[in-house]
Amino acid sequence: MDYTKLKRRSSYPFETIGVAVAFSPRLEALLAEAKIISDAFGGQLLLMHIGERTRTKEARLDETIRKLHIDENKTRVIWHEGNAVDTLLELCKLNIVDLLIVGAMQKENMLRYYLGSVARKISRKAKCSVLLLSQPNKDGTRFRKIIVNGVENAKTVHTINTAVYFGKHLKAKDITVATEVQQDGLAMAMVRESTAGEAQKMKKELTEEELNKVQAIVTNVSEREGIEIFQKQIKGKPGFAIRQFAENRKADLLVINSPDLKYGIMDRIFTHDMEYILENLPTNVLIVHSRVSE
């Protein structure tokens, strides 16, 4: 396999859409969502099950595919045994998957969280974009309210572009780009013997500087016709603030950058950034892997 095809590959269009198939009670709902999404993008569906292939499983999957009227000419099924995460991600590389759809629990118990669930491990290690569906719906999720994390990062413009692409195809009305401003950072910038007036002025300047950075990103967003993009500044710890904002706004989708670093057990013990979101999903989450740094 020539993995150079993956480097610098755009995060969209979603031409090949993979689905992590688990034979849980939510199988039908997950495949129903995948069908709607693949139909919207005109993509190929790749259904992947990591585990033993049995007649019972085959019969259930075939029945579900027929029931949902999934186009078998645009669908492939792969059965493979091995480590759930590593095998699934290797299959995504081999088949040039652009978007991987995974069912995920909104909140995990402590034991399962620290051991690391399949969905969370995939989110941290995937080299393609990942859509975590916290509550897959047989009738399909209505992605009307989309929130994007507008963190200052080279990836963010690609993430916003991907969110607009996703929103246009799934009939979203608007997108809010929310920028997190950590209160501690503002406080430290104002402790140098500033008067109350000077501190207020500095705070205003820092706020405006952050807003201008986001505005510059939004201005460069392509193919935004038909979708209005709003900006919002929120205060709090990175990751935690955006999670609360998405939850309070009852967002249908939260879109974030893929992680810059590999996460270990210490990152999950000392929660930060992306881990705040993964430990307790506020809604469905799209993690955009733009490959700009590869």
Q: What is the pLDDT of residues 206-229, one digit of tens each?
A: 556 666 666 666 666 656 667 888
> Is 72:100 a contact under the CB 8 Å cutoff?
no
Contact 46, 96 (CB under 8 A): no
**How far apart (Å, rounded) are the C-alpha atoms in residues 284 and 277?**
10
Question: How much is the pLDDT for 111?
Answer: 44
The closest alpha carbon to 151, from 261, 273, 277, belongs to 273
pLDDT value at position 235?
86
The CA-based dihedral angle spanning residues 192, 198, 204, 207, taken in that order and rounded to the nearest 10 degrees:
-10
∠ CA 171-104-3 to the nearest 5 degrees?
80
Mean pLDDT for back-to-back runs of 10 residues, the chain (294 residues): 63 95 93 97 96 96 97 96 93 95 69 55 89 93 93 88 93 89 56 57 59 64 73 87 94 92 51 74 91 58
User: Which domains does the chain carry?
Assistant: 1-139 (3.40.50.620), 142-279 (3.40.50.620)
**For residues 251 and 243, what is the distance between their CA atoms, to the nearest angstrom?**
10
Residue with tokens 């992680």: 259
Distance between CA atoms of residues 90 and 124, nearest Å: 14
Contact present, 252 and 145 (Cβ < 8 Å): yes
Amino acid of residue 209: E
**Residue 203 confidence (pLDDT):** 57
